Structure 1
Amino acid sequence: MTASLGGAPPEDDNPADEIRIALLTSLSGSAGLFGRAAANCTALAAEEINADGGICGRPVRIEVVDDRTDAATGLARLRDLDRRRGLAAVVGVHSSATFDAVSRHAQASGLPYLYTAANEGSPVQDGTLFRLGESVTDQLARAIPALMRESDGRAWYLIGNDYSWPRAVCAQGGRIAERHGGHVVGRRLVPLGESAFDDVLDDIEASGADLVLSGLVGWSSVDFERRFHAAGLRRSIRTLAPLLEENTREHLGAAAGGVWSCLPYFSALNTAENTDFLRRYRAAFGVWAPSPSALTESAYEGVNLFARAARKAGSPQGTEVARALQGLTPAGPRGTVAVGADGRLRQSMYLAEATTTGFAVRAQLPSGTA
């Protein structure tokens, strides 16, 4: 597979005809649960694009950059790679903090930057920068009332890591819950990477909550759900964790039961397109490779969207690719998606319940506001 991990390749390994796409992700640090699967998905995308003639007759090479779940590290490593290697595009699967740092470099250099992870929302497009991932509103507008109906719960406790995406989850989630007859009984923001939750669990139990909205990410999410389950709170309280995906759930074991998520892709989707994608993925990386998830399959979609736009434009140049992205309607593992004239990716959302072995998809929800 055409990918290198961590940093840049050797200085003398730079064939002039290659189109280099960076995958900026987290292979390590507190959000390092999903980086390996993201790297696999982009490598698979590049292999398939190259088997189909590449982009404008040129082969694609993926360069995997580990931000170590640190915005400054992500910016420094990507900027150095772009300076030395000459990137055609960046696909980003990382935190919003890294996005905020790296987007300024991408805009200044005119580098197409396809941020495919879940995000706060607007602005969706800014020049050659695209936020293609699902917004907080896409995830919560229908998932919150659906879970309230399912559980007959109304009292929400809001928790998240203290940076932009979880803050948006808590703020918008609280407003959506109140709009549908719920009420917020407590909220807490903790540092990124936090693993000590005893006082939070005491606060949740005392609050009278019957539902928790969790904006925790990575290992913080794992530690919280394990402790939540061990404390016996799952018997009476359900959790909606909109960033709980396959690679995080695999670390929960018995603590996964009773946690719900809402994302545009789950590996459990029972469609011909997804079945074929998973077959190709397992054939390439083996049965023990980390499972694709909404975060990591989005990287596969991002590389393919760039390739389609470059082929449509007849060039991998940034401004031409940005124009060509608008109006694309490719079909892939998550179904048919569409890039609107505003640069927004329109796609269905799926409400799923975590189990000890995977996810059970309960409903397909159109994205949008409520």
Structure 2
Amino acid sequence: MPQRRSARAETIDIVSIVPRQGPGGIIAPSCSAALSLAVAELNSATGILGREIKLTTIDGGRDPNEVATEVGALLATGMVGAITGWHTSAVRRAVGRAVDGRVPYLYATDHEGLRDEHPGVLMVGEHPERQTVPAMAWLRAELGVRTWAVIGNDYIWPRQTVRAVRANLPSPTDLVLERYVPLGTTDFTDFLSDPILNAVDGVLVLMVGADTVRFNRAFAATGRDLSTVRLSPAVDENVLLSAGPTANKNLYVASSFFLDKQADEARQARYTAHNGEFAPVLTTFSASTYEAMHLLGRLTDRVGTLDVEALSAAMAGGVILDGPGTRRGFIGNQAIGPAFLARADDVEFDIIDRL
């Protein structure tokens, strides 16, 4: 009588962390839908290392320690093979401590560029020195944007990103105003009424989801959008749609995951077929989560294991992978691909240059 294979041998559980509440909540439906498509595509072939993927989604919009506790409990079952998702750096750092290199953890959004990550954390999202910093240099060279104000949420990603920005500006005095507000802020009067804002050429916006939406609406209502550039590494089509076309003038965004309408037409068709006609829009952020899942599939196919040390050695050894969007290599734990600058065009992006 043939032996029946165990469920553990036949499947691999992957945990997806996306915010179902808080300012990032407007991003999550698109990310979850894109992840679902990626899982279906991988499972239609060989899954991960010949095992069918089962996706477990948890709410990354809660307190970081609460998210980390749930991840720790899931890891204790011995069933989790990897972790991914779109969530804040504060959540990532708490989860990274809980994971502690036991399974690969693919972080799928931009981050602050610190080098003290726990083993196994693979940065799929962009490093500020490969995204925000060159975007600011482009705006200086092409549009004469020299002086900046910063408005950011008050946690590690905005604060550490500004450190990277300041270190790369031609002069420290080019950054003339810097404010941080709690996640969930609805009133930006203090920042928008500061007279120093009248002297800047650009505003760097380092906020999450709905906070960015509310800020962009308030900024446009002052009329500053007609003469002052805004730049953000953290805006997708959901943010543009939520803010509305009148809030998106002179708004520039840097990313490695913009969707090319012609090149990505087939992916969009698969996305609609998988998720339905009324699925959340496929966006820049959801493209990053989609690519993170496929990157895990290609990396494990190449290395032949989910072992964190073996995967890290492959990345350090210069492995290059062809993803669904572009070819990516690695510098340490950072996935490297081409970054682009786009200008908001109503509620879409017009890609204007490669950074």
Q: TM-score, normalised by structure 2?
A: 0.90
**1:211 matches 2:202:** yes
**1:308 matches 2:298:** yes
The aligned counterpart of 2:20 is 27
- The answer as to whether partners of 1:186 and 1:204 remain within 8 angstroms in 2 is no
- The answer as to whether partners of 1:351 and 1:363 remain within 8 angstroms in 2 is yes
TM-superposed deviation, 1:79:
1.8
The aligned counterpart of 2:220 is 229
Greater mean alpha carbon deviation, residues 321-330 or residues 32-41: 321-330
TM-superposed deviation, 1:22:
0.7
Task: Quickly say closer, same or farther: Cα 1:76–1:311, change in 2 above 3 A.
Answer: same
The aligned counterpart of 2:251 is 259
How many residues in Structure 1 have an aligned counterpart in Structure 2?
Answer: 347
For each residue in 1:153-172, what CA deviation from the matched residue of structure 2 results, as whole angstroms up to 9, or x when unmatched? Answer: 32211111111111123233
The aligned counterpart of 2:70 is 77
Counterparts of 1:150 and 1:203, CA distance in 2: 27
Task: Quickly say closer, same or farther: Cα 1:278–1:69, change in 2 above 3 A.
Answer: farther
TM-superposed deviation, 1:207:
4.0
Superposition map of 1:7-22 within 5 A: 15-16=7-8, 17-22=10-15
TM-superposed deviation, 1:224:
0.6
For each residue in 1:122-178, what CA deviation from the matched residue of structure 2 results, as whole angstroms up to 9, or x when unmatched? Answer: 328643222232111111222102112333232211111111111123233234333
Superposition map of 1:122-137 within 5 A: 122-123=114-115, 126-137=118-129
Greater mean alpha carbon deviation, residues 255-264 or residues 22-31: 22-31
- The answer as to whether partners of 1:67 and 1:77 remain within 8 angstroms in 2 is no
Report SS of the residue matched to 2:193: helix
Counterparts of 2:132 and 2:282, CA distance in 1: 22
Task: Quickly say closer, same or farther: Cα 1:325–1:282, change in 2 above 3 A.
Answer: farther
Task: Quickly say closer, same or farther: Cα 1:217–1:166, change in 2 above 3 A.
Answer: same
Task: Quickly say closer, same or farther: Cα 1:175–1:310, change in 2 above 3 A.
Answer: closer
2:289 to 299, 319, 338: 299
Task: Quickly say closer, same or farther: Cα 1:176–1:319, change in 2 above 3 A.
Answer: closer
- The answer as to whether partners of 2:295 and 2:323 remain within 8 angstroms in 1 is no
**1:177 matches 2:169:** yes
TM-superposed deviation, 1:339:
2.7
Counterparts of 1:173 and 1:323, CA distance in 2: 30
Task: Quickly say closer, same or farther: Cα 1:33–1:193, change in 2 above 3 A.
Answer: same
TM-superposed deviation, 1:56:
3.0
Counterparts of 1:270 and 1:328, CA distance in 2: 29
Superposition map of 1:1-370 within 5 A: 15-16=7-8, 17-84=10-77, 86-107=79-100, 110-123=102-115, 126-179=118-171, 183-203=174-194, 206-253=197-244, 254-267=246-259, 269-270=260-261, 272=263, 274-325=264-315, 327-340=318-331, 342-365=332-355
Task: Quickly say closer, same or farther: Cα 1:361–1:149, change in 2 above 3 A.
Answer: same
Task: Quickly say closer, same or farther: Cα 1:336–1:186, change in 2 above 3 A.
Answer: same
Gaps of 5+ in 1: 1-13, 366-370
For each residue in 1:230-260, what CA deviation from the matched residue of structure 2 results, as whole angstroms up to 9, or x when unmatched? Answer: 1111111110111111221111112012111
Report SS of the residue matched to 1:292: coil
Identity of aligned residues (%): 28
Letter in structure 2 aligned against 1:263: S
Counterparts of 1:104 and 1:333, CA distance in 2: 30
Gaps of 5+ in 2: 1-5
Task: Quickly say closer, same or farther: Cα 1:53–1:184, change in 2 above 3 A.
Answer: closer
RMSD of Structure 2 on Structure 1 (CA): 2.3
Task: Quickly say closer, same or farther: Cα 1:56–1:152, change in 2 above 3 A.
Answer: closer
Counterparts of 1:285 and 1:255, CA distance in 2: 29
TM-superposed deviation, 1:271:
5.2
Letter in structure 2 aligned against 1:120: E
Report SS of the residue matched to 2:192: helix
Greater mean alpha carbon deviation, residues 169-178 or residues 44-53: 169-178
TM-superposed deviation, 1:264:
0.3
TM-superposed deviation, 1:325:
5.0
Counterparts of 1:332 and 1:219, CA distance in 2: 30
Q: TM-score, normalised by structure 1?
A: 0.86
TM-superposed deviation, 1:29:
1.4
Report SS of the residue matched to 1:158: strand
